Amino acid sequence: MLDAALRDGTAHRQCVFELFGRRLSGGRRFGVAAGQGRLLSLLREFRFGDDELRFLRDERVVSAETLEYLAGYRFRGSIEGYREGELYFPGSPLLTVTGTFADAVILETLALSVMNFDSAVATAAARMSIAAGDRPLAEMGSRRAHEQGAIAAARAAYITGFDATSNLEAGRAWGVPTMGTAAHAWTLLHDTEEDAFRAQLESLGPDTTLLVDTYDIAEGVRRAVALGGKRLGGVRIDSGDLPLVAADVREQLDALGNTDTKITVTSDLDEYAIAALAASPVDSYGVGTSLVTGSGYPTAGLVYKLVARQSASGEWIPVAKKALDKGSTGGAKQAFRILQNGVAVEEHVRLASNEPAPEGSRSLVVPLIAEGEIDAAHEGPEGVRAARAHHMTVRRELPVRALALSKSDPAIPTSLV
Amino acid sequence: MLDAALRDGTAHRQCVFELFGRRLSGGRRFGVAAGQGRLLSLLREFRFGDDELRFLRDERVVSAETLEYLAGYRFRGSIEGYREGELYFPGSPLLTVTGTFADAVILETLALSVMNFDSAVATAAARMSIAAGDRPLAEMGSRRAHEQGAIAAARAAYITGFDATSNLEAGRAWGVPTMGTAAHAWTLLHDTEEDAFRAQLESLGPDTTLLVDTYDIAEGVRRAVALGGKRLGGVRIDSGDLPLVAADVREQLDALGNTDTKITVTSDLDEYAIAALAASPVDSYGVGTSLVTGSGYPTAGLVYKLVARQSASGEWIPVAKKALDKGSTGGAKQAFRILQNGVAVEEHVRLASNEPAPEGSRSLVVPLIAEGEIDAAHEGPEGVRAARAHHMTVRRELPVRALALSKSDPAIPTSLV
């Protein structure tokens, strides 16, 4: 496309692309937009290097003119969009990218990859966080995601309510708090469970959490308390029927006088399993597979569409595909969340104008890149902290019906005017 | 774990870890092991650099002794395993990692991340390839996966039967054939559909494929033929009820005399939709979302378990966790596929021994890393080509019932002796 557009001159037409979702995956009641901070950092480095240009030339993928354009490429346009951690609904204009066709079309795959993956995980994590209430959540799913996706998943989960991750790179690169855990391999490595527990207690102190289900849970708990004493921090259970097992273990710990020793559970949890444990004596959750795979919806289904362009004479023209099930709405847009008594009641999306914001509304769109200049406040650990804080604030605006886990319609309607 | 194991000396015990699946995801009848070539290349570079060590020190994640160990880390053990592209069944020992506990335990997350993601995509792609028969398949899902996962997905899909990818980096890094396509933005960028078609034909020649569903499909086809002539390569349809639309478009093309112009379809296809189009006049498929997300099963659910270790006195001891639903089988293993008249009938897994291979069997395990030395034949584009060739060969051994798409038991039983 770029090659042909450079040839016929349309590559230089000013365009507006919009990144949005036509619907919410899986009958969810809200989505969470995530990935903006990662995308901005990736765009800082988005260049075509010698290796890439050589491949494109050797394989005759593009013409010499296009190679020259790519060699000098950096994004010189503008992007505005929803803050990272913001909620979204069908038709919310999450990113609006303005630039020449060539400058903007080339970002499509990167922008969608980042936003689709991170938003899918962030949305699932928000639902788990709601289900967990005040109990802490640890992200432990790295091994069930692509090795780089795992880092992004830990980051997205932290933004929408998880408290820590087992992914140390997410700690180093993004400032996500990290935690560790002993695996069954730790117990099996030692000649006896007693040896394993003693070595862990000596290394990490009594405040550590011992994994008690390698052999027999009741025996494991007895041994953990005998070695760790009253100050034993916690025990972890990773198998079995968790509500039953948690109740038994709590009873056993209390009978042994270890009323302050906490119980962590971790076996294939998702938001539904977490909700089902609400009445069980569980102190914290570790979540893996279902989190990093978006709990059944591993991509947010966001799309990137041309919505307006300049004509040869410089006039702005709204454009849209016409298919019934895959239509889009032409024109650059603004978005506001309308609140009544602090509760969200409508996603108000309208064609860009100088009209004042609707009464009682919060504007949803902020500048991210202005004519090639990236706003660094959204990047790095600082950006992650801001996104988490923003998410926690705006989640409080959701109506109560948005907090249910069952499939339904979006929690608030989108008005597109 | 590493910290405590270095402290109590168990870090230096020789261990065997096994990477395997307890079951096949989603009632699939076979799995495809993929990622080995990527894993070996990642292990070549698997070191702890200054930034990583500084983070671990500043955050007090590990002790000074462990930092020193990590600073000198490189994997010095051995890995043997299934070839990339090989089929697998529950209990197949996909990778067997031998080394000190410290050397081997640290690979767990990386090995699982790579093999879980790549095998999930490869397995879905194999099912789609079976459903497509001789019709070519193009991978077009980058935008619905993490930006790095997208490259791995394109690679995995090629190994199990896709013919090309729209991900150029997969072409550059792994030698996967690449293809491009015009998006709706291309048509919308131009003042008329006619302008867009003409520019594309001028740039790419009549053998190109024109996207005909931006406005009205019948009108788009008429215009495509009028401009492209009898030599027009193809038309692409990306919306609507594909069996109906494909039949209409074929009829229209034939009536216009364009019997050689091909039809490509691309709208949210998965293996079931592809199978449903078997009787439709479709010439090739483009698959996106469902491919890169494993068609409902985005992770293969593989685990990495300690199965044997040396005692303090140097004796080998098989070890296993006892949980009912999450058990494992102790001891290092060998694996053979038993064939009758060229058809696979059993996955034969046994504890490692010097016994001869079972009669009529094919040995499934090959060396990948020998005492730290990586077998480069599995890496890079050459490894990808070999994996694809191997997959196509062993897929022919599957019994006919393995080719059905419906949920069922594994196509052959695993005997674990």
Question: Is B157 a residue whose pLDDT tops 60?
Answer: yes
Question: Is A253 a residue whose pLDDT tops 80?
Answer: yes
E strands, B136-186, where? 137-139, 164-165
| ipTM associated with this complex | 0.96
Chain mean position to CA B314: 39
**What residues contact B95, with CB distance under 8 A and at least 6 apart?**
B18, B19, B36, B79, B80, B81, B82, B111, B115, B368
Interchain pair B185, A105: CB under 8 A? yes
Contacts of residue A298 in chain B, CB cutoff 8 Å? Answer: 293-294, 298
A214 touches chain B (CB under 8 A): yes
Top pLDDT among B264 and A180 is at B264
- Looking at domain B2-121+300-416, its CATH superfamily turns out to be nicotinate phosphoribosyltransferase (3.20.140.10)
A2 touches chain B (CB under 8 A): no
CB atoms within 10 A of CB B212: 27
A139 touches chain B (CB under 8 A): no
Best A148, A188, A302, A309 residue to mutate vs chain B (most B CBs within 10 Å): A188
Question: Is B324 a residue whose pLDDT tops 60?
Answer: no
Per-residue pLDDT, averaged over B197-205, amounts to 95
CA distance B301 to chain A (A): 7
B67 touches chain A (CB under 8 A): no
Q: What is the CATH number of domain B129-296?
A: 3.20.20.70
Per-residue pLDDT, averaged over B330-358, amounts to 95
What are the residue ranges spanned by the domains of chain A?
Answer: 2-121+297-416, 133-293
Rounded distance between C-alpha atoms, residue A17 and residue A33, angstroms: 17
Per-residue pLDDT, averaged over A46-55, amounts to 98
Residue B312 confidence (pLDDT): 87
What is residue A253's DSSP assignment? H
CA distance B394 to chain A (A): 26
Question: Which one of B7, B171, B299 has the shortest CB-CB distance to A144?
Answer: B299
Contacts of residue A169 in chain B, CB cutoff 8 Å? Answer: 52
Interchain pair A182, B105: CB under 8 A? no
Question: Which one of B150, B298, B322 has the shortest CB-CB distance to A298?
Answer: B298
- CB within 8 Å of chain A, chain B residues 24-53: 42, 51-52
- B306 neighbors B319 (Cβ within 8 angstroms): yes
CA distance A255 to chain B (A): 25
Q: Which residue of B has its CA nearest to A5?
A: B199
Chain mean position to CA B262: 28
Q: Which residue of A has its CA nearest to B35?
A: A146
Rounded distance between C-alpha atoms, residue A263 and residue A275, angstroms: 16
Contacts of residue B110 in chain A, CB cutoff 8 Å? Answer: 147
Rounded distance between C-alpha atoms, residue B319 and residue B92, angstroms: 17
Question: Which one of A8, A117, A204 has the shortest CB-CB distance to B146?
Answer: A117
DSSP SS3 for A144: helix
Interchain pair A59, B171: CB under 8 A? yes
Interchain pair A301, B289: CB under 8 A? yes
Interchain pair B185, A324: CB under 8 A? no
Residue A115 confidence (pLDDT): 98
Four-residue CA torsion sign, A142, A144, A148, A154: negative
Question: Is B322 a residue whose pLDDT tops 90?
Answer: no
* CA A201-A206-A209 angle, 5° bins: 80
Tens digits of per-residue pLDDT, A72-101?
Answer: 999 999 999 999 999 999 999 999 999 999
pLDDT confidence tier of residue A417, bands split at 50, 70 and 90: confident
Interchain pair B144, A5: CB under 8 A? no
What percentage of chain B reaches a pLDDT higher than 90? 95
Question: Is A335 a residue whose pLDDT tops 80?
Answer: yes
Strands A209-211 and A234-237, sheet pairing? parallel
Interchain pair A306, B188: CB under 8 A? yes
CA distance A74 to chain B (A): 18
Query: Counting Cβ atoms within 10 Å, is residue A36 exposed (0-12), middle (13-18) or buried (19+)?
Result: buried
Q: Which residue of A has its CA nearest to B2?
A: A186
Per-residue pLDDT, averaged over B269-282, amounts to 97
pLDDT confidence tier of residue B417, bands split at 50, 70 and 90: confident
Q: Which residue of A has its CA nearest to B310?
A: A189
Tens digits of per-residue pLDDT, B17-37?
Answer: 999 999 999 999 999 999 999
pTM for the full predicted model:
0.97
Interchain pair B4, A203: CB under 8 A? yes
Q: What is the CATH number of domain A2-121+297-416?
A: 3.20.140.10
Interchain pair A113, B15: CB under 8 A? no
Best A58, A116, A146 residue to mutate vs chain B (most B CBs within 10 Å): A146
Residue B121 confidence (pLDDT): 98
Interchain pair B326, A238: CB under 8 A? yes
Rounded distance between C-alpha atoms, residue A10 and residue B13, angstroms: 66
- B199 neighbors B189 (Cβ within 8 angstroms): no
User: If you average pLDDT over every residue of chain B, what do you get?
Assistant: 96
Residue B323 confidence (pLDDT): 61
CA distances from A75 to A9, A49, A98, A111 (A): 19, 15, 10, 12
Contacts of residue A168 in chain B, CB cutoff 8 Å? Answer: 52, 55-56, 61
Residue A325 confidence (pLDDT): 61
H runs (alpha helix) in A101-240: 101-105, 108-132, 149-159, 168-174, 184-189, 193-204, 217-228
φ and ψ at A234, to 5 degrees?
-170, 170
Interchain pair B185, A306: CB under 8 A? yes
Interchain pair A142, B113: CB under 8 A? yes
**Cβ pairs bridging A and B (under 8 Å):** 244
A326 touches chain B (CB under 8 A): yes
> Which of B393, B392, B410, B408 lies closest to B129 in space, CA to CA?
B392
pLDDT confidence tier of residue A167, bands split at 50, 70 and 90: very high
Question: Is B326 a residue whose pLDDT tops 70?
Answer: no
Question: Which one of B52, B152, B293 has the shortest CB-CB distance to A299?
Answer: B293
pLDDT confidence tier of residue B79, bands split at 50, 70 and 90: very high
Rounded distance between C-alpha atoms, residue B69 and residue A350, angstroms: 59
CA distance A312 to chain B (A): 9
What is residue A45's DSSP assignment? T
pLDDT confidence tier of residue A53, bands split at 50, 70 and 90: very high
* CA B377-B383-B387 angle, 5° bins: 120
- B3 neighbors A180 (Cβ within 8 angstroms): no
Q: Which amino acid is present at A372?
A: G
Question: Is B208 a residue whose pLDDT tops 80?
Answer: yes
A117 touches chain B (CB under 8 A): yes
Four-residue CA torsion sign, A244, A247, A249, A255: negative
Four-residue CA torsion sign, B183, B189, B194, B199: negative
Question: Is B378 a residue whose pLDDT tops 70?
Answer: yes
CA distances from A143 to A140, A291, A396, B80, B369 (A): 8, 11, 32, 20, 21
User: If you average pLDDT over every residue of chain A, what do you get?
Assistant: 96
Contacts of residue B167 in chain A, CB cutoff 8 Å? Answer: 109
Residue at token pair 């890094």:
B173
Element (H, E) at A6: helix A2-8
pLDDT confidence tier of residue B39, bands split at 50, 70 and 90: very high
Rounded distance between C-alpha atoms, residue B246 and residue B243, angstroms: 5
Contacts of residue A238 in chain B, CB cutoff 8 Å? Answer: 323, 326
Contacts of residue B61 in chain A, CB cutoff 8 Å? Answer: 168, 178, 180
Interchain pair A289, B311: CB under 8 A? no
Interchain pair B323, A239: CB under 8 A? yes
Rounded distance between C-alpha atoms, residue A88 and residue A34, angstroms: 10
DSSP SS3 for B386: helix
Residue A330 confidence (pLDDT): 87
Q: Which amino acid is present at B368?
A: L
Q: Which residue of A has its CA nearest to B216?
A: A322
Q: Which fold has domain A133-293?
A: TIM Barrel (3.20.20)
Question: Which one of B55, B61, B323 has the shortest CB-CB distance to A213?
Answer: B323
Interchain pair B188, A112: CB under 8 A? no
Question: Is B239 a residue whose pLDDT tops 70?
Answer: yes
Contacts of residue A299 in chain B, CB cutoff 8 Å? Answer: 144-145, 289, 292-293
Best A20, A60, A143 residue to mutate vs chain B (most B CBs within 10 Å): A143
Rounded distance between C-alpha atoms, residue B197 and residue B224, angstroms: 7
A338 touches chain B (CB under 8 A): no
Rounded distance between C-alpha atoms, residue A326 and residue A23, angstroms: 11
